[in-house]
Structure 1
Amino acid sequence: MPYFTYDHIRFYYEDDRGDGEPFIFLHGLGGDVNQTFGLMKQTHHIRRISLDFRGHGKTVAFGHVDDFSFKQFAEDVMALTKYLHISQFSIGGISTGAGVSLHLALRYPDSVKKLILLRPAWEDKPQEKLVREAFAKIYDVLQDTDTLTAQNRYENSEVYKTMSSLSSYAGESLLGQFKYPYVKETSMKFVKLPKDCPNDDREAWKNLKLPTLILASQLDPIHPYAYGLLLSEYIPNAQFIEITSKTLSNEQHNHDSYKAIESFLNER
């Protein structure tokens, strides 16, 4: 299995070593490389690269709980690029991965050729109170019981019922966090990351001069459509595309996302 070591942590990554330009595609909170490689199929002229963030997937270790941050995750990605001897690349991500991509593009503009933000979940501040509470509740219920009992408690919580009523997909996504074998050991990520943000000044977004694609959908309280619109208003010449909501069709959502990303990356 492909691993590299950075900050005393063995990070799992995947690299299909395709014949094209490197594209680093980052997963969301509680996800792993299967999320990104599952959506972004192997494609001619695109070299797909992804990693499991610390405390996610096969990268179980995470260091200190304060390392669950956009700054640290971006540094982890840059460590991977150095390990792979890649000096320039396109980068994108889903949800938390979009936030990491945005943070990285702002800090390392000379390294990033194109930027893709798929279902961004942050503005220039922490997530909304309801979303923070929905994730923090996962941490709370896991502290003094087994995972199955914790999941049952979560399903009966008011915050879960509220999120699920707003979007069936949001409810499924939150419950899906309990499937991770190390969810209890890594559960502080559900507290720390929603309280963080990719950057705290939207005016900085105006400094992004690279080609940018923003994809957003309706009916998604964790990834509000308005966030994608806001980013597109501040990032110069950003392309904004509305994609099918996962609440309506997961298959169509993935198809819309893939086609938009493929076309964008292959533009010259």
Structure 2
Amino acid sequence: YFRTGGDKPSLLLLHGAMSNGLCWSRVVKSLEKDFDVILPDARGHGKSVSHQKDYSLFELVEDTAELITHLKIAPVIVMGHSMGAQMATELGARYPDLVKKLVLEDPGYYFKNPSFFTLLSYNWIIRRNKRRDLSQIRKCCDKLIKGWHAEDKLSWVVAQKQFAENAGKFSKSFDPKREWHSIFPMVKVPTLLLVSENGIMTRSEASEYILAFGAASYEYIEAAGHIIHFDNFEVFMSTVRAFLR
């Protein structure tokens, strides 16, 4: 994991599938003045090389709980994107004493929006080709994805190469039929759900889900896809900052 440090409130950032902690780099730069930001790489991602076959959400959450306990930062503010938002949700449900607040960026609870699978297919193409070097992956990224900041694009490209080398049978550990509606009521801490114009979750779904949480609200961000903090960084940051105050 990476950590900015300092005697400040702790903020744990959980990345999405096929990503890594450093894909939050611009978010970190915006928040490190006010927070001790911690960026773990989930098992099989980034520098967390793992030869284990179990990449289930259960194990990812266990890893996260152990990290929080080891660092003695509980209760901590947790912000997660996609898979990381799923992890954060379940962490808040299973380990309420470890969590202070949750920010959930376009969680992949239920895949109903087909536009998400476009991004997923991009990742899948890159992941399968382990022989590509970073420059080749970058060229592929340039062709497929437009409008990202250069720093975001570079961190994402590096993450794809790391994931391709480390992940093993990662995709087989996901449970698309998970019953999230039974988990939502177990999350009692203040929670902000972020949805976007072209993400996984729709506004109507967000409106429904927040009623099941203990203390949740949602914000809708236009001109953004699944990775909101890449697609519309300024609005993302202003929204997050307002919630964290």
Same fold (TM over 0.5): yes
Measure how far apart 1:238 and its partner are.
1.0
Is 1:26 the counterpart of 2:14? The answer is yes
**TM-score, normalisation: structure 1:** 0.69
**Equivalent in the alignment of 1:70:** 57
CA distance in 2, matches of 1:46, 1:198: 36
**Equivalent in the alignment of 1:146:** 131
**Equivalent in the alignment of 2:201:** 224
Unaligned runs of 5+ in 1: 1-12, 156-163
CA distance in 1, matches of 2:27, 2:18: 16
| Aligned equivalent of 1:122, options 87, 94, 109 | 109
**Equivalent in the alignment of 2:223:** 245
- Cα shift readout 1:156-212 (whole Å, capped 9, x = no counterpart): xxxxxxxx7xx978xxx9xx668633443334465235x325952413312322100
> Which letter maps to 1:185?
E
Q: Does structure 2 retain, via aligned residues, the 8 Å contact 1:26–1:51?
A: yes
Between the two structures, name the one with larger relative contact order (CA 8 Å, sep ≥ 6).
2
Q: Does structure 1 retain, via aligned residues, the 8 Å contact 2:90–2:183?
A: no
Q: How does 1:1-268 map to 2 (within 5 A)?
A: 13-40=1-28, 41-59=30-48, 61-66=49-54, 68-123=55-110, 131=117, 134=121, 137-138=124-125, 141-142=128-129, 146-147=131-132, 180-188=160-168, 191-192=171-172, 195-196=174-175, 200-220=179-199, 223-226=200-203, 227-246=205-224, 253-266=232-245
Measure how far apart 1:225 and its partner are.
2.6
Measure how far apart 1:239 and its partner are.
1.5
> Which letter maps to 1:218?
E
Measure how far apart 1:117 and its partner are.
0.3
Q: How many residues align?
A: 229
Any idea what SS the aligned residue of 2:183 has?
Answer: helix
- Cα 1:179/1:28, change in 2 over 3 Å: closer
- Cα shift readout 1:68-122 (whole Å, capped 9, x = no counterpart): 1211111111222222122311112011110110111111012111111011122
> Which letter maps to 2:201?
P
Choose 209-218 or 183-192, whichever is displaced more.
Answer: 183-192
> Which letter maps to 2:65?
M
CA distance in 2, matches of 1:135, 1:64: 25
- Cα 1:258/1:79, change in 2 over 3 Å: same
